[in-house]
Amino acid sequence: MQTHIATTPFGRRPMTLGLISSQVTARNIDQGAKVSKWQVFRDIRDAKEVLGATDRALSILDALLTFHRGEELSGEGNLVVFPSNEQLIRRANGMSPATLRRHLANLVISGLIIRRDSPNGKRFARKGQGGAIEQAYGFDLSPILARAAEFRELAEAVAAERKAFRVVKERLTICRRDVSKMIDAGINESVPGNWRGFQRRYEAIIARLPRTAPRQVLEVLADELEDLWADVHQTLESFVKSQDSSANESHTERHIQNSNSDFNPTGETEYGLGKKEEPSGTAEHTDNVRSLPRRDLPLGMVLSACPDILPYAEGGQIRTWRDLAAAADRARPSMGISPSAWQEAAEVMGPQHAAIALAAILQRAEHIRSRGGYLRDLVERARQQKFSVWPMITALLNARMGALEKAAASGVAGGTQGGQVAETRAGASSLEISSALRDSMKKKGW
């Protein structure tokens, strides 16, 4: 005959709502439920931090499972084990009685076992006829069977979290290495860029990295490092592309002999066969930069040489240098020039000369494959005081005047109609430069 099932602990141990919750869960077990006790134990071991179980408590749970004879926990069988403290200490590798009691309490609080205490607190089983156990007092393993699916889900979640933590640590380590070495490369190779600012950003991110941090904190820092990596990598990549573009353009320009009809921003040309030396923008060769006019370019002269900038002006008119700079800033995105390259050009050349250079590049955009790289190359030359906007604008003016003169001559020779001749003359008059400046340009060979 089975007696009343104990629901409260023996002695001075209090009854808690947590114990009642564990008992309610243990009663909701299907009669046909079966699980491998060692598989569930592995899931519990993987999820021990979430469950609040200690390492020593799991050692005791392992020992308790050994007292259950079957390999499976079944809803149809008896799940109460009743070893003495001496037997548990022996199978738990000899821990002290006080340690045993403390970690048994941890298993109860974690909801992994339930105490089924006898009236005097002893653990034993009463057998009936045929040797079957009618009543057992000890530790009930029913919560392990009842929560087996929960333990499996917790173990999978812990494994996924552990993997995500490992991945974010790898991201963080790789980004730290890449950013640090790319900044060193940019500084050592004298690549134009805000390397001091990049270094300060890197140090500020690393200073917020604690010795031990949760995954969420590491992901935030890794994202910031990846943003910094993108900026540093773009700076290096743009410089490399500009170098390749400059090399390709230099190779192509070797076949061009007439500097009056081709864009030559620095004034550098090859020597023609039997012709006089052309002006050069490289100071160490002809000192042309120092021989250029000291006064600023007239705005009308710039607009005559670069009319393609006018559609980007507000209202289609440019009256001041500020209007030209605003139009250049609007034209920049369509040319593929990054904000950093435009800002660097304004800082090195000055806003006025940077706007002139961009307008000139726009005028010859179809002949320049990498406009951003070209502008960075001009900025580097300006930083070395080897660049002036005068040869750039005069080359464009010469090209326009030559084209208009050829059109007028071909129109007269071919007997063009009066309207076409008038149109050609109107185009020639749109070049707002004085006759004195035109004569000076011819004398200097521009």
Q: Residue 439 domain-assigned? A: yes
Cα separation, 103 vs 228, in Å, equals: 49
Q: Residue 38 domain-assigned? A: yes
The pLDDT of residue 123 is 78
366 and 293 within one domain = yes
Lowest-pLDDT range of 247-256, 277-286, 345-354: 277-286
Q: Compare 435 and 13 and report the one with higher pLDDT.
A: 13
The pLDDT of residue 181 is 93
Q: Count other C-beta atoms under 10 Å from residue 162's C-beta.
A: 12
Lowest-pLDDT range of 87-91, 173-177, 294-298, 349-353: 294-298
Q: Compare 347 and 14 and report the one with higher pLDDT.
A: 347
271 and 127 within one domain = no
Backbone dihedral angles phi then psi of residue 114, each to the nearest 5 degrees: -125, 135
- Rounded to the nearest 10 degrees, the angle between the axes of helix 215-253 and helix 195-207 is 170
Share above pLDDT 70 across residues of the chain, in percent, rounded to a whole number? 72
- What mean pLDDT is predicted for residues 417-429? 43
Query: pLDDT tens digits for 46-66?
Result: 999 888 899 899 999 998 999
Lowest-pLDDT range of 118-122, 279-283, 315-319, 370-374: 279-283
Q: Residue 335: which residues within 8 A CB-CB, separation 6 or more? A: 358, 361, 362, 365, 371, 372
47 close to 151: Cβ distance less than 8 angstroms = yes
The pLDDT of residue 224 is 93
Q: Residue 426 domain-assigned? A: yes
Lowest-pLDDT range of 74-83, 249-258, 323-332, 384-393: 249-258
The amino acid at 271? Y
Closest CA to 81 of 125, 139, 28, 13: 139
300 and 386 within one domain = yes
Q: What confidence category does residue 18 fall into, taking pLDDT thresholds of 50, 70 and 90? A: low
Structure tokens at 78: 């008896």
Q: Residue 216 domain-assigned? A: yes
275 and 399 within one domain = yes
126 and 29 within one domain = yes
- What mean pLDDT is predicted for residues 65-86? 85
318 and 208 within one domain = no
Q: Compare 126 and 366 and report the one with higher pLDDT.
A: 366
The pLDDT of residue 13 is 61
Question: Structural domain tally of the chain?
Answer: 3
Q: Residue 317 domain-assigned? A: yes
Q: Compare 288 and 281 and report the one with higher pLDDT.
A: 288
For the chain, the average pLDDT equals: 77
Q: Compare 182 and 292 and report the one with higher pLDDT.
A: 182
Q: Residue 2 domain-assigned? A: no
Lowest-pLDDT range of 56-70, 278-292, 355-369: 278-292
The pLDDT of residue 140 is 87
Backbone dihedral angles phi then psi of residue 429, each to the nearest 5 degrees: -70, -20
240 and 270 within one domain = no
Bridge partners (DSSP) of residue 114 are 140
- What mean pLDDT is predicted for residues 393-409? 81
Structure tokens at 440: 């000076």
The pLDDT of residue 243 is 74
420 and 274 within one domain = yes
Q: What confidence category does residue 135 fall into, taking pLDDT thresholds of 50, 70 and 90? A: confident
363 and 329 within one domain = yes
pTM: 0.46
Closest CA to 396 of 308, 325, 317: 308
**Residue 427 clears pLDDT 70, i.e. is over it:** no
**Residue 29 clears pLDDT 80, i.e. is over it:** no
Domain around 89: 17-146
The pLDDT of residue 142 is 85
Q: Is the dihedral of CA 104, 109, 111, 114 positive or negative?
A: positive
Of 146, 177, 198, which marks where a domain is finished? 146
205 and 283 within one domain = no
Highest-confidence segment of 8-22, 153-167, 363-377: 153-167
- Rounded to the nearest 10 degrees, the angle between the axes of helix 215-253 and helix 339-349 is 60
48 close to 155: Cβ distance less than 8 angstroms = no
Q: Residue 307 domain-assigned? A: yes
Cα separation, 99 vs 170, in Å, equals: 39
Q: What confidence category does residue 272 fall into, taking pLDDT thresholds of 50, 70 and 90? A: very low
Highest-confidence segment of 110-119, 400-409, 437-446: 110-119
Q: What confidence category does residue 7 fall into, taking pLDDT thresholds of 50, 70 and 90? A: low
SS3 of the chain: the string is CCCCCCCCCCCCCCCCHHHHHHHHHHHCCCCCCEEEHHHHHHHHHHCHHHHCCCHHHHHHHHHHHHCCCCCEEECCCCCEECCCHHHHHHHCCCCCHHHHHHHHHHHHHCCCCEEECCCCCCCEEEECHHHCEEEEEEEECHHHHHCHHHHHHHHHHHHHHHHHHHHHHHHHHHHHHHHHHHHHHHHHCCCCCCHHHHHHHHHHHHHCCCCCCCHHHHHHHHHHHHHHHHHHHHHHHHHHHHHHHHHHHHHHHCCCCCCCCCCCCCCCCCCCCCCCCCCCCCHHHHCHHHHCCCCCCCHHHHHHHCHHHHHHCHHHCCCCHHHHHHHHHHHCHHHCCCHHHHHHHHHHHCHHHHHHHHHHHHHCHHHCCCHHHHHHHHHHHHHCCCCCHHHHHHHHHHHHHHHHHHHHHHHHHCCCCHHHHHHHHHHHHCCCCCHHHHHHHHHHCC
Q: Count other C-beta atoms under 10 Å from residue 144's C-beta.
A: 25
The pLDDT of residue 442 is 53
The pLDDT of residue 362 is 93
- What mean pLDDT is predicted for residues 180-201? 90
Of 222, 250, 278, which marks where a domain is finished? 250
388 and 243 within one domain = no
The pLDDT of residue 179 is 94
CA distances from 138 to 81, 303, 384 (A): 6, 98, 88
Cα separation, 108 vs 101, in Å, equals: 11
Q: What confidence category does residue 297 fall into, taking pLDDT thresholds of 50, 70 and 90? A: confident
Q: Which class for 286: exposed (0-12), middle (13-18), buried (19 or more C-beta within 10 A)? A: middle
The pLDDT of residue 32 is 75
CA distances from 159 to 43, 59, 155, 166, 329 (A): 10, 21, 6, 11, 52
Bridge partners (DSSP) of residue 81 are 139
Degrees (nearest 5) of the Cα angle 84, 88, 92?
175
Residue 38 maps to which CATH number? 1.10.10
Of 250, 276, 292, which marks where a domain is finished? 250
The amino acid at 274? G
177 and 37 within one domain = no
Q: Residue 152 domain-assigned? A: no
- Rounded to the nearest 10 degrees, the angle between the axes of helix 371-383 and helix 215-253 is 80
